[in-house]
Amino acid sequence: MSALRFPDLPPSEPQGADLLAQERSKTTFSVHDLSNYLYGEEYLERQEKFLGLIENEPAFDKSNRYFLGRTERFAGALKKDYALVKLAQQQKWTPEEFQQADILIDEPGPFGLHRGMFMPTLVSQGTDEQHELFLKPALRYEVIGCYAQTEIGHVSNVQGIETTATYIPETNEFELHTPYLTACKWWIGGLGKAANHAVVMARLISNGKDYGPHALCVPIRSMEDHTLLPGVMAGDIGPKFGYNTTDNGCMWFDHYRVPHISLLAKYSSIKPGSGEYIKPPNSKLSYGTMVLIRASLVGYARIGLAKAATIATRYSAIRRQFVDKDQPKKMGKEVIETPVLDYSMQQYRLFPIIAAAYACHFTSKEMMRLYYLNIKNMASGNFSLLADVHASSSGLKSLTTTMAAASIEECRRACGGHGFSSFSGLPLMLQDYAPNVTWEGDNYMITQQTGRYLFKSFRDLVAKRASGKFSASQITNPTLAYLNTYLDNPDLKCPATTPAQFHNPEIQLAAYGHRAAHMVAEIVHGLDVEKRSWNSMLVEIYNASVAHCQLILVQNFILGIRGDMPQPEGIVATPLSPAAKEALTDLSDLFALHQIHKQPGEFLTSGYIDAKQVSMMGKAIMDVMEKKIRPNAVGFVDAFAFPDYYLNSALGRFDGKVYEAYTEMATREPINQTEVIEGYEQYIKPFTNPKGLKGKSIQARL
Amino acid sequence: MSALRFPDLPPSEPQGADLLAQERSKTTFSVHDLSNYLYGEEYLERQEKFLGLIENEPAFDKSNRYFLGRTERFAGALKKDYALVKLAQQQKWTPEEFQQADILIDEPGPFGLHRGMFMPTLVSQGTDEQHELFLKPALRYEVIGCYAQTEIGHVSNVQGIETTATYIPETNEFELHTPYLTACKWWIGGLGKAANHAVVMARLISNGKDYGPHALCVPIRSMEDHTLLPGVMAGDIGPKFGYNTTDNGCMWFDHYRVPHISLLAKYSSIKPGSGEYIKPPNSKLSYGTMVLIRASLVGYARIGLAKAATIATRYSAIRRQFVDKDQPKKMGKEVIETPVLDYSMQQYRLFPIIAAAYACHFTSKEMMRLYYLNIKNMASGNFSLLADVHASSSGLKSLTTTMAAASIEECRRACGGHGFSSFSGLPLMLQDYAPNVTWEGDNYMITQQTGRYLFKSFRDLVAKRASGKFSASQITNPTLAYLNTYLDNPDLKCPATTPAQFHNPEIQLAAYGHRAAHMVAEIVHGLDVEKRSWNSMLVEIYNASVAHCQLILVQNFILGIRGDMPQPEGIVATPLSPAAKEALTDLSDLFALHQIHKQPGEFLTSGYIDAKQVSMMGKAIMDVMEKKIRPNAVGFVDAFAFPDYYLNSALGRFDGKVYEAYTEMATREPINQTEVIEGYEQYIKPFTNPKGLKGKSIQARL
């Protein structure tokens, strides 16, 4: 029997292409200008060039991505990673260029952690000799590495790891050992099948003393034939919610000896022979990398938000449901069913996500600027920025990845039933995005780091103010500024008396600042005066971190549009056209006000906002969504400049031909390759035609 | 090369089994008693019996479930559905017994909609002759059917469907036709490969007049060999986020003729020859089935909540992280890392989910009782219950399925990294549960039905009160009761002045009632006085439905524990032991207070609760969680009585041997069946050993 062929019918009128064209004709700004402002022209030109190299190359083909089982997908990812490295070598890509191509292909693979964690760890913690030995062959992919930190019984808590690395003075070696099942390395990306080396975090033991977790770089598979080396057992940890194209692996050591050079020794080391431990000079230095990773996750959150919003917004302009009797929609003279994007609920669900994508864009840019500034400062011994940047990056990692994961799911549901189809692109996106809320610091856990910094800043500020020697000019960062404003007047009330006044950014910032400071003050009171335990206040601490970071997002959005945001050294900002500036200001208003309106509790209990103002804010939001953002919605997502190859979505296509693409994809479903399913004879026929009747008679009975 | 063998090491102390034993020793009530109260002894005994029949039968084996690709999973589901029907026939199961076994196996299959929608539609809309023709063979699975309503361009909007069924008087037939791509039937469970018949919703056209959507029962595949009948094209719609063991299908008709008997004619029909349309007597009758389905989804939400909570709670008692310095945890004399269940944030995440599972249990029971009462009433012409039950069931379907989907994901994340592993059981649970938020009425859309009823009730009540002829004794249902209390005093304030007073159920109910009524009053003011459009108020309408339904959940929880809940006729309630009653009261308090504390906005703007009280409530919650619920947490989830076979989770095992089970499952990963991955020669070796070096030399370079 042959494969099914679905009929070649057109959709009923109006066509998706015409609806999107109508949307695009209403956009009040140049999409091209806004894209340039976001990415810069060079980036966009390179995207075009890379698409040309990638899109039609079989190793990077996405057309079967949604159909394959895990085994086939992993095999494909290995092939893809190989081809990508070959292409990068041939094209002489910089790491930034590599990353841009990698984003377009959009599939985590077995070599990802080699680049993302293994090599960066060698760079930051290895000596020159170790760079020669490990990093150079790693750059050529001769050494392929993974970063083996987490253990099955100790996923988020590095201090709790049980794997040991015991120094053996007699042979000047370390002996790696897995004493318990709970010490088995687990979740290690690239370890399952691909890596031949691992950076292993193990408790360093010398002369009977335990110095806690340290990193060693060790071979795990034979360079000759890729078999496991004696003393090492490793494999894949099995299927996961997402990320199934990566071989997250597990590893046990059985008294596995490695040479002294394995211990990454830039900061701390063991003296050969004596086994004496040499302490790291400054533990703060390692915070820098953590800030970089967390800041870059804010950028990835931006991509997740923007990608999901692109698909859901374009499809919501095409998908029609019911006729809105108060405001019937017309196409020419005909009344058509109302596009779901015209319904206020759909706007309330989607537009804040578009706004959040832009908010994260500006904050991610600012975090990267601060990261590089801090690195430069630290190199000259100035650690003044570190605490604030570290605290913000932790809280922002938590907040923005939580927002992005929730928003991808919201966009999936906002596509109605079709968001459940893999062909929408949203299920796999959600699944592959999901680990972001857990890795690099669990999103609940790491907000304690933000909290600690906020409480310390508050206590210091209160003490300084009480000392009588304080002047506002001493304030060195935005955190202290909003805490100080609050302390000046904890009973401040919002002066707005009309919905329109909430468009004033000063009022928005005051509301967020007052709320965050009030929460910090309450927690410090709970800890210091009521003597409540830290554990009993974890919920409040989490909420305070969210409040602090929402303020940062609002702030950077406002500055980002104004053009007031400081630029990285040597970078001249592309100017934003007045029309785009006006449109982005609407989004910024929505971003600031929607969060207050949706969850007004803390703004109300902080005393700054009252119930009447929340209700006014609701009207301000509905108004800006319907009149200002609605006409620009498709323009805003078009400006993200995601090519169809990247989106890989029937619903999110630029040309609006959603149903044509959707049904075409279904014809490629493997079980559609025969008309009658394979199990028919065994599992259906015994019920439906047990006697094996033939001919017309049997059909005629019905 | 042979399959990998992982080392056989024990976890470090303390063992999961010991930790769970310690938890269970602290439970203040008999788990067995509470299970009996929830399910009745008969149900639990039957569960044991069914487990014996199912657990070791290869067709129902779950050990490969997480490894297979879609094609293999569908093949397995077809085999499973066949075996289950055979077993049911052999055991002579009632539909209820079938359902109980089906829940244990927990895998949607190709025959699911045959039972769930096809046969029920025949029952409710078919004539006796049609029952003879279609239903009887359907009960034997000779006819295997599906329910073909949604179309690719019209998923939630039945009125928008485009498939036509035109009456042809000359031959006394109907001609089914798919005029456009948008009219293609889509998402139809069981249609892709399994069904040989379909109930098709199509616009009924006779004598040129369009009578809107009607149901026809038609053959689609040959009874002889299962090939598609001429004029019908059908296939599978491809991979989805979940439900991949069901063949959701698509279907086109090309001027497909079916006999007159195909039109399901219990309520409306076409006169043969003349083509005259005979109208249905009462359109309200069809609401009954919708109420049943939505009420049953509340029950399934309960299962989802309870199952996810069981896994996450048990594992959180075993998983340990850090030492809480304020309150170090001891096991014997040893200080151990603190089980994550001791952290207040983990409690705040998980305990409300346990509470929600119990809340949904009592409300689902009450909704089923009301459904049967309403059916009985309607049969005698009494429609007084219908509007309230229909409105509540719509809003509750929306609220509880939204809660359950969010809670499964929250439980997944609360297991830390391991919740991302398929072996936790949570990813597949989440994926298969996800359609509940969309099907049987999109969760945003259907709250408009709840809203309409609430606003009408409010307007009627206001008019009655204004008429001067009103007395409170006229109030016939709980909705009117809380609206009336509000109208008596819209400025009522909560009298609580201490955290303890929030444990008073009257205060809890007053808070929820006042908030819901206030929201209804505001919306009616917006619509009737401010003349805002319905569309502009959809967000408020959704929120009002949520508020109304949260009140119902709180109410039924309180009544369910008191034993004050009305019982279905002929059912004598199992009594609840005093110890279990006390423990459940703690959960009920948490359920009521947590929602206020977490999202206090509407309670504050309603004026009933003030900021100080929200803060007191926070203390009341933390207190009840730490002192009352924490010791009973494992007991509460044990009482759900889910066997390990059902949970299919390494983390949620009753015996606590999580890491042993987890690593054992990983050994069965297909790519672990060889030590060196298949793609090595092609995609890894060219980098790592391009010259094909052999022997020790190559390793020695490192």
Contact across the interface for A670 and B70, Cβ inside 8 Å: yes
Of the candidates A351, A437, A430, A448, the residue with the CA atom closest to the CA atom of residue A391: A448
**pLDDT category, A281, cuts 50, 70, 90?**
confident
Residue B650 confidence (pLDDT) above 90: yes
**Residue B283 above 70 pLDDT?**
no
Tell whether B321 lies on the interface with A, counting CB pairs under 8 A: yes
Q: What is the mean pLDDT of residues A346-366?
A: 97
With CA atoms as reference, report the closest residue to B683 among A106, A118, A86, A58.
A86
Q: Average of pLDDT values for B178-206?
A: 98
Residue A71 has pLDDT above 80, yes or no: yes
Q: Could you tell me which residue, B548 or A471, shows the higher pLDDT? A: B548
End-to-end alpha carbon distance in chain B: 26
CB A153 within 8 A of CB B337: no
Residue from B151, B175, B440, B660 carrying the catalytic annotation: B440
Structure tokens of B185? 């039937």
pLDDT of residue A462: 96
Q: Which of B553, B464, B466, B641 is nearest to B35 (CA)?
A: B641
Q: Amino acid identity, residue B452?
A: R
Q: Is the pLDDT of residue B382 over 70?
A: yes
Partners of residue A12 in chain B, C-beta under 8 Å: 153, 162, 179-183
Q: Which of A25, A18, A24, A31 is nearest to A641 (CA)?
A: A31
Residues on chain B touching A542 (C-beta within 8 angstroms): 345
Name the active-site residue from A107, A440, A602, A660: A440
Q: Which one-letter amino acid corresponds to residue B615? A: S
Q: First and final CA of chain A: distance in angstroms?
A: 26
Give the residue on B whose Cα is nearest the Cα of A74: B671
Hey, what are B274's tokens? Answer: 């003349």
pLDDT at residue B308 in the model: 98
CA distance B585 to chain A (A): 22
- Interface contact A9-B181, CB threshold 8 A: yes
**What SS3 state is found at A240?**
strand
Which residues on adjacent β-strands are paired with residue A604? Answer: none
Residue B264: per-residue pLDDT: 96
Question: With the C-alpha atoms ordered B554, B556, B559, B561, is the resulting torsion angle positive or negative?
Answer: negative
Average confidence (pLDDT) over A83-104: 97
Closest C-alpha among B164, B171, B130 to residue B273? B171
Answer whether A182 sits within 8 Å of B605, measured CB to CB: no
CA pair distance B384, B393, nearest whole angstrom: 15
Using an 8 Å CB-CB cutoff, list chain A residues near B678.
Answer: 75
- Strands of the B249-253 sheet, one edge to the other: B185-188, B249-253, B232-236
Average pLDDT over residues A156-182: 94
CB-based burial of residue A686 (10 Å sphere; 0-12 exposed, 13-18 middle, 19+ buried)? Answer: middle
pLDDT at residue A284, as a whole number: 66
- Cβ-Cβ contacts under 8 Å, A242 against chain B: 420
Tell whether A538 is within 8 A of chain B (Cβ): yes
Whole-angstrom distance, CA of residue B394 vs CA of residue B441: 8
Report helix, strand or coil for B628: helix
**Stronger pLDDT, A372 or B323, i.e. the higher one:** A372
Q: Are B295 and B302 in contact (CB under 8 A)?
A: no
Neighbours of A300 (CB within 10 A): 18
Contact call for A438 and B417, based on CB within 8 A: yes
Q: Average of pLDDT values for A66-71?
A: 95
| Two tokens, residue B675 | 């030590």
Distance CA A214, CA A121 (A): 12
pLDDT confidence of residue A403: 98
Say what the pLDDT of residue B111 is: 98
For tokens 């990638």, name the residue: A54
* DSSP3 helix / strand / coil % (chain B, rounded to 5): 60, 10, 30
> What does each C-alpha distance from B652 to A335, B322, B404 come to in angstroms?
55, 22, 18
Give the pLDDT confidence of B469-483 residue by residue, as tens digits: 888 888 888 999 999
Contact status, residue A170 vs residue A195, Cβ threshold 8 Å = no
Q: Out of A323-327, B42-46, B49-53, B197-201, pick the least confident.
A: A323-327
Q: Which of A282-296, A436-450, B129-143 has the lowest mean pLDDT?
A: A282-296
The overall average pLDDT reported for chain B is 94
Taking CB atoms and an 8 Å cutoff, what residues of chain A touch B4? 233, 235
Residue B569: pLDDT band by 50, 70, 90 thresholds?
low
| Interface with chain A: mutation pick from B181, B433, B603, B697, highest number of A CBs within 10 Å | B181
A440 is catalytic: yes
How distant is the Cα of A292 from the closest Cα of chain B, in angstroms? 22
Pairwise CA distance, residues A304 & A220, whole Å: 35
pLDDT by residue (tens digit) across B499-524? Answer: 999 999 999 999 999 999 999 999 99
Q: Which amino acid is at A582?
A: E
> What span, in angstroms and rounded, lies between the C-alpha atoms of A36 and A641?
10
What is the per-residue pLDDT across A499-553, written as a single tens digit (0 to 9) for each? 999 999 999 999 999 999 999 999 999 999 999 999 999 999 999 999 999 999 9
Q: Which residues pair with A219 in a beta bridge?
A: A197
Q: What is the pLDDT of residue A421?
A: 98
Model confidence at A343, in pLDDT bands (50, 70, 90)?
very high
- pLDDT value of position B571: 66
- Stretch B258-287: mean pLDDT, rounded? 88
Cα dist. A95→A45, A89, A130, A656, B468 in Å? 17, 11, 21, 34, 79
- Listed by number, the residues of chain B in 70-89 with a beta carbon closer than 8 Å to a beta carbon of chain A are 70-72, 74-75, 78-79, 81-82, 85
Nearest to B594 by CA among B605, B606, B586, B583: B586
Given a cut of 70, is residue B573 above it in pLDDT? no
Long-range contacts of B378-386 (CB under 8 A, 24+ apart): B378/B284, B378/B285, B378/B288, B383/B284, B384/B476, B385/B477, B386/B284, B386/B287, B386/B288
- Interface check for B336 against chain A (CB to CB < 8 A): the answer is no
Q: How far apart are CA B254 and CA B163, in angstroms?
A: 10
Nearest CA in chain A to B4: A235
Cβ separation of A233 and B671 shorter than 8 Å?
no
For B368-376, which contacts have Cβ atoms below 8 Å and span 24 or more sequence positions? B368/B295, B368/B296, B368/B299, B368/B568, B369/B566, B369/B567, B369/B568, B370/B295, B371/B288, B371/B291, B371/B292, B371/B295, B372/B568, B372/B569, B374/B288, B374/B291, B375/B288
Measured torsion, CA atoms of residues A568, A570, A574, A576, in degrees rounded to the nearest 10 = 40
Per-residue pLDDT, averaged over A11-27, amounts to: 96
Write out the E strands in A260-416: 269-270, 277-278, 329-331, 334-336
pLDDT value at A571 more than 80: no
Q: Give yes or no for a contact between B106 and B308, defined as CB atoms under 8 angstroms apart.
A: no
Distance from C-alpha of A320 to C-alpha of A661, rounded to nearest angstrom: 18
Region A467-473: what's the mean pLDDT? 87
Q: Which residues, other chains included, contact B258 with Cβ-Cβ below 8 Å and sequence gap of 6+?
A: B173, B174, B175, B176, B216, B218, B219
Confidence of residue A283 (pLDDT cuts 50, 70, 90): low
Token pair, residue A216, equals 């060693």
In terms of phi and psi (left: phi > 0; alpha: psi -120 to 50; beta: otherwise), the region of B566 is: beta
Mean pLDDT of B592-608: 96
Q: Quickly state the pLDDT bin for B697 (edges 50, 70, 90).
A: low
**Which chain A residues are closer than 8 Å to B659 by Cβ?**
152-153, 181-182, 184
A residues 124..183 contacting B (CB < 8 A): 133-134, 137, 140-144, 150, 152-157, 159-160, 162, 178-183
Q: How far is B50 from chain A (nearest CA, A)?
A: 22
CB contact under 8 A, A66 and B239: yes
What is the residue-wise DSSP string for B398-452?
A: HHHHHHHHHHHHHHHHHTGGGGGBGGGSHHHHHHHHGGGGTSSS-TTTTHHHHHH
- Asked if B542's CB is within 8 angstroms of A67's CB, the reply is no
Give the closest-approach CA distance of A101 to chain B in angstroms: 19
- The answer to whether residue B700 scores a pLDDT higher than 60 is no
Q: How many beta carbons lie within 10 A of that of residue A589, not counting itself?
A: 23
List, for residues A189-248, the tens digit of each pLDDT value. 999 999 999 999 999 999 999 999 999 999 999 999 999 999 999 999 999 999 999 999
Q: Using CA atoms of B103, B108, B113, B116 in order, give the dihedral in degrees to the nearest 10.
A: 20
Q: How far apart are the C-alpha atoms of A605 and B411, rounded to whole Å? A: 29
Q: Is B150 known to sit in a ligand binding site?
A: yes
Residue A310 known to bind ligand: no
Q: Cβ contacts (< 8 Å) between A222 and chain B: which residues?
A: 699
Q: Is A439 on the interface with B (CB under 8 A)?
A: yes
Q: Of residues B290 and A88, which shows the higher confidence score?
A: A88
- What's the mean pLDDT in A271-294? 83
**pTM recorded for the entire structure:** 0.97
Write the Ramachandran bin of B391: left for phi over 0, alpha for psi from -120 to 50, otherwise beta.
Answer: alpha
Would the CB atoms of A241 and B427 count as touching at under 8 Å?
A: yes
Pairing between β-strand A197-206 and β-strand A164-168 as defined by DSSP bridges: parallel
Q: Which residues contact B29 (CB under 8 A, 6 or more apart)?
A: B577, B579, B580, B582, B583, B632, B635
Q: How confident is the model at residue B632 (pLDDT cuts 50, 70, 90)?
A: very high
- Residues on chain B touching A413 (C-beta within 8 angstroms): 437-438, 443
Supply the pLDDT for residue A574. 74
- Asked if A180's CB is within 8 angstroms of B226's CB, the reply is no
Residues in chain B, total = 702
Query: Is B654 at the interface with chain A, CB within 8 A?
Result: no
* pLDDT at site A569: 66
The pLDDT value recorded for residue B285 is: 63
List the beta bridge partners of residue A200. Answer: A148, A216
Query: B183 and A12 in contact by Cβ < 8 A?
Result: yes
Is pLDDT larger for residue B263 or for residue B471? B263
CB contact under 8 A, B321 and A156: yes
Which residues have CB under 8 Å from A670's CB, separation 6+? A67, B70, B71
Three-state DSSP at A202 gives strand
Rounded distance between C-alpha atoms, residue A346 and residue A352, angstroms: 10
For the record, the structure tokens of B639 come out as 């009482």
- B412 in Cβ contact with B428 (< 8 Å): no
pLDDT tops 70 at residue B2: no
The set of residues, in sequence order, having a beta carbon less than 8 Å from that of A488 and lying 6+ positions away, is none
